[in-house]
Structure 1
Amino acid sequence: MNDSITFLHSSDWQLGMMRRFLGPDGQARFAQARLDAIVRIGEVAKTTGAAFVVVTGDVFEHNQVERQTILRACEALKRIEVPVILLPGNHDALEPGSLWTSAQWTGHAPDHVTVLTGTEPFEVLPGVEIVGAPWRSRRPVSDPAAPGYEELAADGKTRILLAHGQLASLSGGLSDVPTINQAALEAAVAEGKVRYVGLGDRHSMIRVTDRIWYSGTQEVTAPEELEPGNVLAVTLDPANDTIAVEPIRVGAWHMVEHHAELDDEDSLTALEDWFAELPDKERTYVRLAARGSLPLPLLSRLDAMIDAQGEVFASVERWVKFWTVQPAPDAGDLDMLQLSGPARAAMEELRQALAGGDESAGAALTLMHRLARDAG
Structure 2
Amino acid sequence: MAFTFVHTADWQIGKTFGGFPEAKAAILKRARLDAVARIAAQARTKGAAHVLVAGDIFDAETLPDQTLREALSIMRKCADLTWHLLPGNHDPARPGGLWQRVRALGGPLANVRAHDTQGATEIAPGVHLLAAPLTSRAASGDPTAWMDSAATPEGALRIGLAHGSVQGFGSLGEAAVQIAQDRPERAGLAYLALGDWHGARQIGPRVWYSGTPEPDRYVRNEPGHALVVRLASPSAAPEVERVATAEFHWSQRAVQLDSLADIEAVAVEVAALGAASRSHLLALELAGQLSLAEHSALEARLEALAAELFWLEHDAADLHVAADGADQAMIGGGVIGEVAARLRAVAAADDAQARAVAELALRKLYGYARQAGEGRRS
Provide the TM-score with structure 2 as the length reference: 0.87
Of 115-124 and 73-82, the range deviating more from structure 2: 73-82
Question: For 2:172 and 2:264, how far apart are their aligned partners in 1?
Answer: 43
Please give the alpha-carbon distance, in whole angstroms, between the structure 2 residues aligned to 1:125 and 1:374: 72
Mean Cα displacement is larger for which, 80-89 or 347-356?
347-356
Residues in 2 aligned to 1:316 and 1:214: alpha-carbon distance in whole angstroms:
29
Residue of 227, 250, 256 corresponding to 2:251: 256
CA 1:336–1:184: 2 relative to 1, 3 Å: same
- How far apart, CA to CA, are the structure 2 residues paired with 1:54 and 1:173? 20
Deviations 1:180-216 (A, max 9, x none): 111234322xxx3x22111111111112233221111
Using a 3 Å threshold, how does the CA distance of structure 1 residues 244 and 359 change in structure 2: closer, same or farther? same
Alignment partners' CA distance in 2, 1:173 and 1:17: 20
User: What is the alpha-carbon root mean square deviation over aligned residues?
Assistant: 2.7
Cα 1:198–1:371, aligned 2, differ >3 Å: closer, same or farther?
Answer: farther
Question: Residue 370 in 1 paired to residue 371 in 2?
Answer: no
Is the deviation greater in 84-93 or in 117-126? 117-126
Greater RCO (CA < 8 Å, at least 6 residues apart): 1
1:24 pairs with 2:22 = yes
Residues 72-92 of structure 1, C-alpha deviations (whole Å, 9 max, x = no match): 212221243311100000010
Is residue 285 from structure 1 mapped to residue 281 from structure 2 by the alignment? yes
Q: What is the distance in 2 between the residues matched to 1:245 and 1:213?
A: 9
Read off the aligned partner of 2:287 and give its amino acid letter.
R
Residue 354 of structure 1 pairs with residue 352 of structure 2: no
Structure 1 unaligned segments of length 5 or more: list them. Answer: none
Structure 2 partner of 1:332: 326
CA contact (8 A) 1:21 1:315 kept: no
The range that moved more, 116-125 or 150-159, is 150-159
In the TM superposition, residue 113 of structure 1 has moved relative to its aligned partner by 0.6
Q: What secondary structure does 1:44 align onto?
A: helix
Contact 1:203/1:225, CA 8 A, preserved across alignment: no
- Seen in structure 2, the aligned counterparts of structure 1 residues 296 and 164 have a Cα distance that, compared at 3 Å, is same
The percentage of counterpart residues that share the same residue type is 30
Distance 1:306 1:145, change over 3 A: farther
Letter aligned with residue 48 of structure 2? A
Q: Which segments of 5 or more consecutive residues in structure 2 lack a partner in the other structure?
A: none
Aligned-partner SS, 1:71: helix
| Aligned AA (1:250) | T
Query: Equivalences for 1:173-188 in 2 at 5 Å?
Result: 177-188=176-187
Q: Out of 150-159 and 279-288, give the one that drifted further.
A: 150-159
Check 1:172–1:113 CA distance in 2 against 1; reply closer, same or farther (3 A cut).
Answer: closer
- Alignment of structure 1 residues 73-222 onto 2, 5 Å: 73-81=71-79, 82-96=81-95, 98-102=97-101, 106-108=104-106, 110-152=109-151, 155-172=154-171, 177-188=176-187, 192=188, 194-222=189-217
| Structure 1 residue 297: Cα displacement | 0.8
CA distance in 2, matches of 1:360, 1:297: 18
Alignment partner of 1:295 is 2:291: yes
* SS in structure 2 at match of 1:182: coil
Count of matched residue positions in the alignment of Structure 1 and Structure 2: 366
SS class of match (1:121): strand
1:129 is aligned with what amino acid? H
Q: Which moved more, 1:113-122 or 1:329-338?
A: 329-338
Q: 1-side partners of 2:310 and 2:241: how far apart?
A: 30
Q: Aligned-pair distance for 1:6?
A: 1.2
Deviates more, 1:294-303 or 1:272-281: 272-281
